[in-house]
Amino acid sequence: MTIKVGDRLPEGKLSEYIETATEGCSVGPNTFDVAEMAKGKKIAIFGVPGAFTPTCSAKHLPGYIEQANALKGKGVDEIWCISVNDPFVMGAWGRESKSGDVVRMMADGSATFTKSLGLDADFSKNGMGTRSRRYSMLVDDGVVKQLNVEEAGKFEVSDAQTMLKQLG
């Protein structure tokens, strides 16, 4: 069953490659509880089929990086990019795309969280196995307020501009 507006995010964990050690976060992959990360925050989340893939790298991620200040000006506390990749790949993609502190590059290496959202897709015909459908959602204190799921092969409703319009 696919998550829908009004649902609470499911239990889950995501990993993030941390470049600079801070209190509680060492350099390298760190695993975080989704419910704890979402508590009390408004988060723009977008899911992509894969790091370094053409549409994801040329349009989806850059759009959120470019619109980060506008999104934050509309009350968004954090922006997450979730992909079924390992945290090392997500960290490298974040460095190359210069996502910095603007977009958190969250890895769902085994697609566990993506499957619990009901947003997994079989990309085996492309040699990629289980991946994420392309989507965006606005989450407020763990509850889905907006959800935009793309049809296969499309990039029309999960972009940063659509999210900005939905924020009013």
Q: Which residues are catalytic?
A: 56
Question: Cα separations (Å) of 152 from 80, 106, 131, 158?
Answer: 21, 22, 12, 12
Give residue for tokens 């590059």: 105
| CA 77 to centroid of chain Cα atoms | 14
Per residue in 103-112, is it b (16+ CB within 10 Å) or e — as a string? bbbbbbbebe
Cα–Cα distance for residue pair 152/143, rounded to 1 Å: 25
- Yes or no: say if 16 and 107 are a contact pair by the CB < 8 Å rule: yes
**CA–CA dist 35, 37 (Å, integer):** 6
CA angle 57, 114, 36 (to 5 degrees): 100
